[in-house]
Amino acid sequence: MTVTARIWALHLGVLGLLFALQFILPAYHHGNLARIMVLASYAIGFNIAFGYTGLLSLGHALFFAAGMYGMGLAIHLFDATPAPALIAGLVVGIIVTGVVGFLALRTAGVAFMIVTLMFAQAGYLTVLYFGKYTRGDEGFVIQQAERVLWGIDLSNPTNRYFAAFILFSFCLIFTLKLVQSPFGKTLIAIRENEERARMLGYDVFARKLVALIMSGALSALAGASYGLLFGYVGASFATVQYSIFPLLWVLLGGAGTLLGPLVGTLFMFYLIDLSSGITSAYMLIAGVVLVLLTLFAPQGLVGEIRARIWRWLP
């Protein structure tokens, strides 16, 4: 079996497993996995920028929230149906990412991190300032009747799971095709040695901007889907916390690996869930585990598997 065939077999096998779990899992874990797949889609978007292009953004909550509010306000203020609302969320996310990327990519390194963080904070404050429309910290609920897409009630647990599965499958396959393409290989070259890529004649700024826009588009699509599937849009999703989460998920799973975002999101979600059942100081347990993983698995869970066993993992 060729390396390409192995890669496709593994990732399609993971998707097949996620599809089958719909019919096996009890209700609690069924709902959790639907949420995890949407958040993992967000992490996949972040991984395009950070893991494959080397752009450490601390402002991805802005793109996630842009998609969520673009979708939510289209329904809340303009009575849009879910399909146009999702498109609105995606378009808003792409526009916001394009503007932020065009400005932020004029910096590099720590300056890029700070600029993206400040843009995200400005986005959060904008949500609060226009509380008349966004409902500020309180947010707003998307009613069950407003979450019917082409006759399918997305508030139904089974339908919600399949919608989350379709979203995750799209993001995973899109990224797999991307990293196998010449453009994706160029992004990896920029991550490894930006100056050499520039000397070879590549327009580094343009490629980084396109990579960031693709990253923001997937993040916005995940944000719009999260709001629609779980029926809530709130300012908490625009806070710095939601810029740090995808970074943690990607680092835990393995930056620059396709399955890392899913593994990292799954691990972090259940680490907090299980430790909160033991003690109210659950973040202490989570913190200790994260420190140990950083020390003994610095490349992340999937990254260590790639380094030690399956070197062909993308």
**Predicted local distance difference test score (pLDDT) of residue 11:** 93
> What pTM does this model have?
0.95
What pLDDT, on the 0 to 100 scale, is given for residue 279?
A: 78
- ∠ CA(147), CA(129), CA(94), 5° rounding? 55
Q: Return the pLDDT at 172.
A: 96
pLDDT of residue 116: 95
Tell me the average confidence (pLDDT) per consecutive run of 10 residues in the chain, 314 residues long: 86 95 92 96 96 93 96 92 95 96 92 94 94 89 90 93 96 95 93 90 94 96 96 94 93 92 94 83 80 85 88 82
Q: How far apart (Å, rounded) are the C-alpha atoms in residues 99 and 59? A: 13
pLDDT of residue 273: 87
